[in-house]
């Protein structure tokens, strides 16, 4: 191969041909090669090229908070098709990102493909195999018997997944997609194109993306913060070797994450004192997070998602139980304390940061012990929607790794509020519902099946739903109320607020009153089986 070239972002953008399939490494603001994406958008504005790009984003490229990512190229004529694990998201009060305008307007075919499957597709393309055969996503929106990952009519007209029978079983089959260009990001490149990630909060999937392009004769562009002399990177520090990289673009002001230029604790270069982590304020959300924490077992490896459950690690710190479980997140961190807000997807004090494709293999095969996730809706079969709100689509990012994580997880705890917009008050160890929410979240049929309750029952998965007013479990007979909060009326506040009949356990219990008091609860974790 030719020696790696150091070019400006504009020069690199001029190398991308019309009609190319382009894979982009990013997780919102984390690892986003924003300077190169901005240059591609600027070239299109000036020249009308490159045109008709298909882009692959295993995790979202950019966000609504300052890293535009995919929005730089979300222009009619520039972008022809997009497949992404997730998309930029934000508050309903903000104008939707340009990519959401294109999706909702049916301007281009757009697909929400589970992040792990998208990484799998890169591996298959690299090895020149025919595609991904998987059971991940069966009986969810991923399944062609439902939506087949399609986010609009144009996508539905161009299917990307089918159901096939192999060795006597039904599987989902995603034919390989061969990318011609990879746009990845690192911290440092040496003069030979070797890439290291010492200032990054996660590695993500650049090696698999570069391999898929290199093995098919394409172009690999790496955006980095700085350039080093050849031979000065330690071999064990190199994540992507220079033999896979064609072009280096130096962007010294690239952000570590959105609104974070550089914080060494995010990249594991220093460890923060545990006392430096801010504890969640006492409110109803904290009461829910505390009850979620009671489902943990000492010694478990636990995946954690966005929303209320993201505060559970801080509950353990407050209760003196930090380190009793090992947190594992899809961007690759293992151990430590998962971070919040713009730093979500990173962890401080991690024991290891692995590449996302390997983390997703761990998740898809069910090697971890349990997952703590959120819900938007729950239906009568126990299915959950986290990925779609039709009236406000940009409020949700899509499914990301949710489908990969839940496909074979042994135990899942979903958390959220029982209704949306309720007026809730806590007083002296009890909950009072001062004003009922206008939007029911336990519905006859979820707007989109992100998690299949039917499949969970068939596989014997243990499913718990924790809300502020009750705890429910998915049993073969249906969704069952097993605990109720002190101060809550079972009929008025729970059963009457569900669109479908809820079962009530014969040994219905009270949620512990200590959950609804400000002082620590004296958390004792279960023993692992």
> Is 330 one of the annotated active-site residues of the chain?
yes
Nearest 5°: the CA angle 141, 111, 75 is 150
Report the sign of the C-alpha dihedral through residues 234, 239, 245, 251, in that order: negative
* Backbone φ, ψ for residue 179 (5° rounding): -80, 145
Residue with tokens 């008709």: 52
Please tell me which residue in 330, 425, 436, 524 is annotated as part of the active site.
330
Per-residue DSSP letter, 491: I
Per-residue DSSP letter, 492: I
**How far apart, in whole angstroms, are the C-alpha atoms of residue 197 and residue 209?**
16
Contact 209, 195 (CB under 8 A): no
Cα 253 to Cα 187, 345, 509: the distances in Å are 11, 21, 55
* Backbone φ, ψ for residue 40 (5° rounding): -65, -45
Cα 353 to Cα 131, 177, 269, 332, 360: the distances in Å are 28, 27, 12, 5, 13
Helix (H) or strand (E) holding 252: none
Per-residue DSSP letter, 502: P
**Closest to 346 measured CA to CA, from 412, 258, 286:** 258
**How far apart, in whole angstroms, are the C-alpha atoms of residue 123 and residue 117?**
10
Tokens of 339: 């971070």
**Closest to 398 measured CA to CA, from 113, 158, 66:** 113
**How far apart, in whole angstroms, are the C-alpha atoms of residue 393 and residue 97?**
10
- SS3 of residue 316 by DSSP: helix
* Cβ-based neighbour number of residue 152 at 10 Å: 17
Helix (H) or strand (E) holding 125: helix 115-126
What is the SS3 assignment for 414-433? EECCCEECCEEEEECCEEEE
Catalytic residue numbers read 330
């Amino acid at each position: 191969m030719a020696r790696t070239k150091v070019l400006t972002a504009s020069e690199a953008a001029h190398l991308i041909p019309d009609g190319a399939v382009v894979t982009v490494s990013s997780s919102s603001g984390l690892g986003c090669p924003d300077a190169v994406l901005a240059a591609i958008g600027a070239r299109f504005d000036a020249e009308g090229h490159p045109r008709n790009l298909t882009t692959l984003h295993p995790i979202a490229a950019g966000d609504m908070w300052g890293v535009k990512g995919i929005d730089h190229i979300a222009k009619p004529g520039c972008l022809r098709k997009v497949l992404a694990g997730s998309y930029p998201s934000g508050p309903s009060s903000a104008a939707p990102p340009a990519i959401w305008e294109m999706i909702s307007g049916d301007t281009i075919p757009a697909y929400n493909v589970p992040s792990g499957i998208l990484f799998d597709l890169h591996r298959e393309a690299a090895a020149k195999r025919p595609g991904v055969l998987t059971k991940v996503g069966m009986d969810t929106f991923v399944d062609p018997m439902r939506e087949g990952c399609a986010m609009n009519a144009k996508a539905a007209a161009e299917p990307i997944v089918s159901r096939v029978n192999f060795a006597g079983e039904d599987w989902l089959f995603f034919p390989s997609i061969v990318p011609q260009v990879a746009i990845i990001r690192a911290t440092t490149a040496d003069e030979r194109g070797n890439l290291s990630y010492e200032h990054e909060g996660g590695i993500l999937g650049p090696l698999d993306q570069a391999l898929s392009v290199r093995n098919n004769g394409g172009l690999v562009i790496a955006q980095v913060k700085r350039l080093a002399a050849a031979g000065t990177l330690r071999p064990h520090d190199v994540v992507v070797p220079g033999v896979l990289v064609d072009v280096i673009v130096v962007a010294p002001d690239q952000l570590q994450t959105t609104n974070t230029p550089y914080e060494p604790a995010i990249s594991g270069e220093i460890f923060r004192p545990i006392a430096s982590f801010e504890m969640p304020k006492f409110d109803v959300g904290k009461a829910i997070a505390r009850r979620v924490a009671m489902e943990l077992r000492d010694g478990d490896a636990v995946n954690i998602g966005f929303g209320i459950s993201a505060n559970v690690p801080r509950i353990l710190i407050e209760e003196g139980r930090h380190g009793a479980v090992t947190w594992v997140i899809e961007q690759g961190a293992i151990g430590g304390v998962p971070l919040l807000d713009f730093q979500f997807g990173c962890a401080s004090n991690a024991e290891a940061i692995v590449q996302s494709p390997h983390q997703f293999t761990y998740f898809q095969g069910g090697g971890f012990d349990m997952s703590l996730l959120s819900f938007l809706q729950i239906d009568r079969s126990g299915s959950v929607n986290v990925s779609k709100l039709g009236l406000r689509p940009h409020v949700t990012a899509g499914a990301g790794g949710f489908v990969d994580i839940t496909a074979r997880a042994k135990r899942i705890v979903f958390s959220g509020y029982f209704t949306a917009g309720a007026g809730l008050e806590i007083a002296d160890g009890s909950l009072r519902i001062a004003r009922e929410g206008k939007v029911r979240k336990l519905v006859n049929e979820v707007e989109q099946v992100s998690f299949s309750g039917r499949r969970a029952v068939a596989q014997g998965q243990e499913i718990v739903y924790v809300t502020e007013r009750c705890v429910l479990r998915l049993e073969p007979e249906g969704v069952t109320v097993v605990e109720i909060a002190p101060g809550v009326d079972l009929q008025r506040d729970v059963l009457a607020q569900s669109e479908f009949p809820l079962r009530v356990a014969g040994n219905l219990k009270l949620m512990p009153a200590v959950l609804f008091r400000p002082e620590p609860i004296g958390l004792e974790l279960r023993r692992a089986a």
